[in-house]
Chains A and B, each alone.
Chain A
Amino acid sequence: MKEYTFFPGCSSEHNASAANMENSIQSMCRILGIQLNEIDDWNCCSASIGYAGGGQLPRMAMSARNFALAQKQKGNTDLVATCAACWLSMRETNERIEEEPRIKQDINTALAEAGLSYDGHIKTRHMVEVLIEDIGWETLQSKVTKPLTGLKAAGYVGCQTNRPFGVCGDSYENPLYLDKMIEATGATAVPFPMKVACCGGALMFSETEKACVLTKQILQSAVDNGAEVIITPCPVCQLNLEVYQGMINKTLGTNFNIPILYYSQLFVLAWGGSWQDAALHQQVIPAEPLRRFA
């Protein structure tokens, strides 16, 4: 039984936009014997868009509070995040606290107001890093009982699990880990030149038209390369690609209807989990292509 401190992030809350990720990840961890110990009373990481309202210290203080709570509750065990943006801002905050004395000092002055303190030393890891580094490809493959043979999937890595830190030293321009995960489930990873293109991120809210053009190109490339589904590790990407398909079809004259799934949903299904376990019932665009494996 492997244990990790867990930071779900806002979108993974009950009834939140990434509930399907959260639920499938919990199933995934159950199968793998991973125990995720959620930080009690965690707060928002402030996300990538938090800079404008928060600036440096308030923004980082928010992540720091989560670290402080984690340290208090669970010591320095690795902290696992499932959301790309959470993982990124937590990791960045920790780095700056450890590298910049001035930041460390100010952050702690602020934390003191909440009766907390943090001096670094908690490693923030993305769930995919845990799968690759701690569980290992062999196990991921060996768990497969219902290989998704014949399923054509486009592995959409997106931005924030890939840059600026990257996952397990994978390349920024052509990361392979997600394709490898798809292949591990028995499915086929189609060639996908847009795998690291940007979906518009948070600008989907404020610059919807511009962002939709980006999202459209990604969907188009996946479809052109024969993908039945798109797989992603990032809730922002998932949301933008799935929820805005309708609008894109309307405004840009396309007729996409391609399910956007998380790697975790694919694993759970391939490992013999139920439709529910894989939270496939929580897709706005139904995961029809997976029916044949259910």
Chain B
Amino acid sequence: MADAHAAGQTILVVGGGISGLTTAVEAAETGYNVLLVEKDPQLGGRVAQHNKYFPKLCSPVCGLEINFQRIKNNPRIRYLTLSEVEEIQGSEGNYTVRIRKNPRFVTEACTGCGDCAAVCTTEVADPFNFGLNKVKAIRNNHAMAFPSWYYMDPAYAKTDEAKQVAKICPAGAIQPDMEASVIEEQVAAVVWATGWKPYDAEKILPYGFGQYANVTTNMRFERLASVYGPTGGKIIRPSDGKEAKSVAFIQCAGSRDHNYLPFCSRVCCLASMKQATYVRDQYPDSKVTVFYIDLRAMDRYESFLQKTREDANISWIKSKPARIEEDANGNPVVIGENTLTGERYAMPFDLVVLATGMEPHSAVDAKVPSDQASHDEYGFVTGGVLAAGCAAAPTDVASSVQSATAMAMKAIHAAVKRG
């Protein structure tokens, strides 16, 4: 180690998505102690909900698995799930943070045997699948979830059944009376990696999401296309379960729009190209239409755009649709002007996917506490504590990893300063 004392320092990483995991693993493997805090029951964040990554069309779980292995094998990394940072005092090199640990109602003694879920009779809308299906009130997000021990919904924990279920756990891991606790930690640096949430499509009134069953969003579509999603990977339309063979993607649904999110969310164009391949791969006789303002396939991603352009069954219309109506058959009808031909169109589809943008958690439900950060007008963190990935700007996965690795370096600088 460059500086033994510096190495004794701890780096706090807030958020266990791809950015937070990366900062944690990279800093720890350089010899520093890391405390990783995640508000959800399991790590992986937003990418864990994705079916595939562009442009390689491979599973996010593959990269997550390596990172999880590295965390398991590295005693320098401590991680807390269901936890949130409540307060940050002090300054770079010397912070005191207060962390609230919300109850999981299941301890690490859980062996993942699943006996509890088997007897649990309460089912809830599955947040991991955006409520598109029901799951047990005591569960795992998915078979590859890490940490793999189960968790219980707080509402369920209060029920009598929960107490009965607790009795049958062979490992005695279920504790319905578990309570929240608060811990305090001394850390040299704070890296905010709280990522993003999909913009609420119901706010985009002209597109009728929530009003028309067959208008969905890109993140829901990821779950729809996933073998482990609500339909087992069948791309069907919600209204009648009909195979969705004619699918429209509407770009900038919320992004680049002063009525919603004025900034560009960067990944949506590429995400829709990727999702177009889901449809085309599943149904050879399918047709996909992408409505866009500008196709933003930055730098090397351009080749992915060119690849999808080779498919004659994917058409591209430069147009921000004005609105969506529903016809008698429950087909969403997309209405607008093709700005390259001047033609005013009204096109029916089986399913319309809104490419909704990124709303930074740091703007809504994961604000940096105690004024320890400056934000831009959109809520991205621009100063104060360090910010990685989508907490700082809308970025794709590779760029998030770059940013997260860079933030590991900045955090180490803070530790060295302290040391």
Q: A residues touching B (Cβ–Cβ < 8 Å)?
A: 171-174, 193
By size class, the interface of chain B is under 10
**Scoring B residues 200 to 236 as 1 if CB is less than 8 Å from chain A, else 0, what string do you get?**
0000011010010000000000000000000000000
Q: Which of the residues A171, A172, A193 comes within 8 Å of B325, measured between beta carbons?
A: A193
Best-buried of A172, A173, A174, A193 by chain B (most CB within 10 Å): A173
How would residues 376 to 387 of chain B score, 1 for a CB under 8 Å from any chain A CB and 0 otherwise? 000000000000
Chain A residue, CB-CB nearest to B208: A173
Given A172-B205, A173-B206, A173-B323; 6 other pairs, CB 8 A cutoff: A171-B205, A173-B205, A173-B208, A174-B205, A174-B211, A193-B325
CA–CA, A182 and B205, complex, Å: 23
- Residues of A contacting B325 in the complex (Cβ-Cβ under 8 angstroms): 193
* Assembly CA distance A174 to B205 (angstroms): 8
Q: In the assembly, what is the distance between CA of A171 and CA of B206, in Å?
A: 10
**Cα(A193)–Cα(B211), bound, Å:** 12
Q: How distant is the Cα of A97 from the Cα of B211 in the complex, in angstroms?
A: 39
In the bound complex, how far is the Cα of B210 from the Cα of A174, in angstroms?
Answer: 12
Q: Give the distance to chain A from B115, nearest Cβ to Cβ, in Å.
A: 48
Q: Which residues of A contact B205 (CB under 8 A)?
A: 171-174
Majority secondary structure of chain A interface residues (helix, strand, loop or mixed):
loop
Binary CB contact string for chain B from 323 to 363 against chain A (1 if under 8 A, 0 otherwise)? 10100000000000000000000000000000000000000
Interface 1/0 per residue, B89-124 and A, CB below 8 Å: 000000000000000000000000000000000000
Least CB separation from B205: chain A residue: A173
Q: Contact residues of B with A, CB < 8 Å? A: 205-206, 208, 211, 323, 325
Contact partners of A174 in chain B: CB under 8 A: 205, 211
Ranked nearest first, the 9 interchain pairs of A and B with the lowest CB-CB distance are: A173-B205, A173-B206, A171-B205, A172-B205, A174-B205, A174-B211, A193-B325, A173-B323, A173-B208
Give chain B nearest CB distance to A163 CB in angstroms.
Answer: 12
Q: How far is the CA of A251 from the CA of B208 in the complex (A)?
A: 34
Q: Which residue of A lies closest to B206 (CB)?
A: A173
- The docked-state distance in angstroms from the alpha carbon of A81 to that of B272 is 48
Nearest-Cβ distance from residue B225 to partner chain A, whole angstroms: 29
Give the distance to chain A from B333, nearest Cβ to Cβ, in Å: 11
> 9 A-B pairs, CB-CB below 8 angstroms?
A171-B205, A172-B205, A173-B205, A173-B206, A173-B208, A173-B323, A174-B205, A174-B211, A193-B325
* Complex CA–CA separation, A172 to B259 (angstroms): 12
Distance (whole angstroms) from the CB of A246 to the closest CB of chain B: 29
Query: Which residues in A have their C-beta under 8 angstroms from that of B208?
Result: 173
In the bound complex, what is the Cα–Cα distance between A62 and B287 (angstroms)? 55
**Complex-state Cα separation, A193 to B325, whole angstroms:** 9
Set of chain B residues within 8 Å of A173, measured between Cβ atoms: 205-206, 208, 323
Q: How far is the CB of A289 from chain B (nearest CB, A)?
A: 27
Give min CB distance, B373 to chain A, whole Å: 32
Q: Would you give the shortest CB distance from B7 to chain A, in whole angstroms?
A: 56
**Across the two chains, which residue of chain A brings its CB closest to B325?**
A193
Q: How far is the CB of B192 from chain A (nearest CB, A)?
A: 34
A173 to B325, CA, bound (A): 11
Residues of B within 8 A of A171 (CB): 205
CA distance A280 to B205 in the complex (A): 36
A193's closest neighbor in chain B, by CB?
Answer: B325
Q: How far is the CA of A189 from the CA of B323 in the complex (A)?
A: 24
Give bound CA distance, A172 to B205, whole Å.
Answer: 8
Chain A residue at minimum C-beta to C-beta distance from B211? A174
A173: nearest residue on chain B (CB-CB)?
B205
Give A174 to B325 CA distance when docked, in angstroms: 12
A260 CA to B323 CA, complexed, in Å: 28
Residues of B within 8 A of A172 (CB): 205
- Looking at the assembled complex, report how far the CB atom of B74 sits from the nearest CB atom of chain A, in whole angstroms: 51
Q: Give the Cβ gap from A212 to chain B, nearest Cβ, in Å.
A: 20
Residues of B within 8 A of A193 (CB): 325
